[in-house]
Amino acid sequence: MAAPLELDAQSVAFLVEASRLSGQEIRQLYAEFKAAQPTGRTSDFLNMVAQRHSSLETVRKKAQQFFELFDSNKDRSISREEVLAIMHAVFQTARDRGVQLTKTPDEVCEEFFRRLDTDKNCEISHEEFVDGCLLQPDLLRILQTPEVMNTLGR
């Protein structure tokens, strides 16, 4: 049986509580779901939102953990000095493993700030870091390479 054209209040309330989405965002997602899958069931939609939310939460948690590792002085922001210190250590670990590198730690630091320091104040805030990892999943994949993980002691 196909799902109704609108979600009932109980389903909306459940998804609001289970996700970081507003009721309006959930209704909009449901309308898009119904437009793409007119015969889709409500349970399919609930599962889709739950899976999406779960994977986003996993990325958010990993990003928060990496932020804590980079923020060595615990001032809730990451400076160029903090990034450079880690990049120099990561590059040394990579060289020790025989990895050929095409960039310098300074170049990687510049790219890191170009991609994450959205307000251009020369500091990466917690919000900028986490949002950057959510919007640019390749950043989290890079941070999870063996060289970075070994350097950070993870």
The pLDDT score that the predictor gives to residue 10 is 83
| Mean pLDDT value of segment 1-19 | 74
d(CA 42, CA 25): 16
Please say whether the structural domain 59-153 has been given the CATH code 1.10.238.10.
yes
End-to-end Cα separation, the chain, in angstroms: 48
The pLDDT of residue 107 is above 90: yes
Please report which confidence band the pLDDT of residue 154 belongs to, taking 50, 70 and 90 as the band edges.
Answer: low
Sign of CA dihedral 138, 140, 145, 147: positive
64: amino acid identity, one letter: Q
pLDDT in tens, 24-66: 988 898 888 888 888 888 878 887 787 777 677 788 888 999 9
pLDDT in tens, 66-101: 999 999 999 999 999 999 999 999 999 888 989 888
Question: In the predicted model, is pLDDT for residue 129 greater than 70?
Answer: yes
Domain-wise residue ranges, the chain: 9-55, 59-153
113 — pLDDT class (breaks 50, 70, 90): very high
